[in-house]
Amino acid sequence: MAKIHFLSLQPWGFVLTVCIPGYIDKEEVAKIAAFVASLNPEIPYSLLAFHPQFFMGDLPTTSRQLALECLEAAKGAGLNNVRVGNIHLLRDN
């Protein structure tokens, strides 16, 4: 019976980054994405919106503009499977 190598068919994991205004922006995302792309450009990468709670309640929710800038930075770094998650949390201004 032939062996099936599942790891050769799909990426071995995924990466996610929370886009926190004032802390994580397109420059940081580009660096993370470049590293991930150097391993395998097909690894799924999710960018998540930040929603203030607990000790970080003084920060704003992630803006749609920041999310789109980070999305373009990740794609520009060579990743092929990038998405923005929890888009319902993004603010428009």
Mean pLDDT of 71-89: 96
- Rounded to two decimals, the pTM is 0.83
The answer to whether 91 touches 67, Cβ cutoff 8 Å, is: no
Report d(CA 84, CA 70) in Å as an integer.
9
Report d(CA 44, CA 12) in Å as an integer.
9
The tens digit of pLDDT for each residue in 34-68 reads 999 999 999 999 999 999 887 878 899 999 999 99
**CA end-to-end distance (rounded Å), the chain:** 58
